[in-house]
Amino acid sequence: MKTITLPVEGMTCASCVARVEKSLKKVDGVKTANVNLATERVSLSFDPQKTTIERLSEVVREAGYGMPLPAAEGKQEKVSGETHQAAAYARTKRDLLFAAILSIPIMIISMIDMTEWFMAAVPLTMDEINRLLLVAATPVLFIAGRRFFVSAWQSAKHFSADMNTLVAVGTGSAYLYSTAAALFPERLGGTGEVYFDTASTIITLILLGKFLEARAKRKTSASITALMDLQPKMARVVRNGEAIDVPVDDVLHGDRILVRPGERIPADGIIVDGMTSIDESLVTGESLPVEKRDGDKVVAGTINTPGSIQFDATAVGRETVIAHIIRMVEEAQGSKAPIQALADKIASIFVPVVIGIAVVTFVGWYFFSSAGFTLSLIHFVAVLIIACPCALGLATPTAIMVGTGAGARKGVLIKNAESLERLHSVQTIVFDKTGTLTEGKPSVVSTSAFDGYGEKDVLRYAAALENRSEHPFAKAIVAAAGFQEALVVSSFHAEVGGGVRGVVDGKGVLIGNRSLLASDSVDFAAAEKIAGEAAEKGMTAVYVAVEQRLKGVMLLSDVLRASSRDAIDSLKAMSIEPILLSGDSKAAVASIAASLGIVRSYAEIEPGEKAAMITSLQSEGKVVAMVGDGINDAPALARADIGIAMGSGTDVAMETADVTLMRPDLHGVVDALRLSSNTVRTIRQNLFWAFIYNAIGIPLAAFGMLNPVIAAGTMAFSSVSVITNSLRLQRRS
């Protein structure tokens, strides 16, 4: 299957969305077609053996819309949505200004043309004034408002209807009647009543709403724009010993790249020379710069601050982390939440039902009251104009766009709209221990010294010898020792499964477990009590002997993340039950659970059993989320209702998960839950106002209590209010 995202031109409401999706899904080979009214884009998944992009574009064109093809299919496989929206915004602004310049005089003249002073001042008859109004109103409808009539005609050719149909029929009816009254007044009784002001003002007000809507839409996509802006255009590459500036697209794997202070990192890579601090806030959400040195990873789009560095590129272009983030956010914004299903069903029948109500309104007023043709027509127009499926179509996607964008700014990547909606229903969160609740690497918790040695002496001898080892315990010991005066190591040997031995400053040193010390007849009884208590807490004891005499014992443990306690407390406050699930020893798991206040914990769980445990919890009727970081967590992440992967974990865990935390901070779990809750609340508010607006407005118009001009203004601002409400998510999240 092939997946691609392309812009769709000409959509104005939820009915348009339904028609484009329906047309595409009929094509053999199309698996999914999700159209987003807010972004005016379609996400397609199809079998290229059965259909082509060109064929799909033709299908969209036959449905009355446009779907521009990508300029270069091999490179990016998508057309810039930002460019498409910018062009639509400029076109709407131009049409609005043109309509307003003509509509304002039409409105003013229509309001005062019956006054005695006006008729005395103007040497024209009423019939001549009406014909001038006809001349002025015609370009408003058919130049500035051309889009509505063209789209309505395209829909009519396919025996369908949308918002454009309502506008075109409503304003067209008022215009045609007024034209007949202006050109042939004697045939209509010579009343002189024309409604050019109504028709032109309706077009102008709807264009005003479209203009404000387009401007607001650009704000909803600001997160994607900000992410795209992170990618620098040029990179300074060292080739043949010379630093040259090349376009980022020309950077190759393995290129040596030079980055100076204040510049953005142009590719992912590994530092080979230099030391600096990197501002990764717009990628991970972490506000403080992160120190980097030789061997550390750097990510494209982040900002180098104080020092110059050189690094070797390991991922370029579409392979970089920032490119992956942009794709994830775009896919999430283009997906549909289950809550939108009701709106889609209503949208599919909305316009035909409204036209039916408008016809019934006209017939009722004309045949069953003394209103007459003119007033009946006005009520008919009011019903058509007040009914707007735009707000219905924008209610969900705008909230999803803002929500996923807000998450990305916090370093919380959400896979799709369904996951974002489902998150707020989570009742239980299962945590892996190592690398999730803990740092995932051992640290020296405490050091005890014996036989005349101090703690610093123990660490000095241990670090000198362990500096030759690659074992995680060795690295932890070296880190705990910090900077120490160098000791001469003249011999080093690693004992598999036991520890290390060697000669440090002419003295025989032994570092390892009890078995290693016992093999050299070292008496370690002095440390047994400390080691025994440590074992009960899940810690590991590492003994240090010098010249076959015990000098110290170091206790190592995988320490908790700084954010773990606060995150667990926050989840409990949200009435969400935390559960610990780990393959580690019972003692280690029990110790971590107790320190975090987690009541339910399971130890010595095999990778295959984790998914079964998730299923067991789901059988209790609970909505379960799983938070993990390793390959062994992937089955459980997939089995859970919501899988949450730590971004510092493995690629397979991140690909399996519904949510990815770009920084190793469990506050991201809480952020994701709150974001979901706020987004779902916003969607419900939007849908409520979209429904209630039509439920109240249509009856008012049908019973003659709503002027068409007021209806047009109200309709125009309904969509803007929905988008504005969605934008509030940026402040609440």
Which residue in the block uniquely carries the two structure tokens 């590719």?
Answer: 267
Dig out the tokens for 343 from the structure. 């709106």
Dig out the tokens for 414 from the structure. 């959400």
First to last CA, the chain: 35
Alpha helices of 335-429 — where are they, by DSSP H? 341-368, 372-386, 390-409, 417-423
DSSP 3-state percent helix, strand, coil across the chain (nearest 5) = 55, 20, 25
| Cβ–Cβ under 8 Å, residues 253 and 314 | yes
Q: 545 by DSSP, 3-state: which?
A: strand
Pairing, β 428-431 against β 624-628: parallel
Beta bridge partner(s), residue 492: 502
Q: Give the residue from 494, 499, 496, 503 showing the smallest Cα distance to 461.
A: 503
| Cβ–Cβ under 8 Å, residues 662 and 285 | yes
Identify the H or E element spanning 161.
Answer: none
Q: CA 565, CA 417: separation in Å to the nearest integer?
A: 29
| Cβ–Cβ under 8 Å, residues 546 and 507 | yes
In Å, how far are 253, 369, 539 from 36, measured between CA atoms? 36, 44, 53
Q: 186 by DSSP, 3-state: which?
A: helix
CA 353 to chain centre: 35
DSSP state of 143: I
Q: CA 162, CA 22: separation in Å to the nearest integer?
A: 14
Burial class (CB in 10 A: 0-12, 13-18, 19+), 370: exposed
Which residue in the block uniquely carries the two structure tokens 């484009």?
Answer: 20
DSSP string for 229-242: HTS-SEEEEEETTE
The amino acid at residue 17 is: V
From the candidates 162, 255, 268, 432, give the one annotated as an active-site residue: 432
The maximal CA–CA distance of the chain, rounded, in angstroms, is 124
Q: Is residue 296 among the annotated active site residues?
A: no
Dig out the tokens for 228 from the structure. 């795209």
DSSP string for 557-601: EEEEPTTHHHHHHHHHHTT-EEEEE-SS-HHHHHHHHHHHT-SEE
Q: CA 656, CA 415: separation in Å to the nearest integer?
A: 10
Q: Give the residue from 444, 466, 462 showing the smallest Cα distance to 453.
A: 462
Q: CA 677, CA 207: separation in Å to the nearest integer?
A: 34
Q: Give the residue from 427, 215, 411 showing the smallest Cα distance to 322.
A: 411
Q: CA 564, CA 681: separation in Å to the nearest integer?
A: 27
Catalytic residues: 432
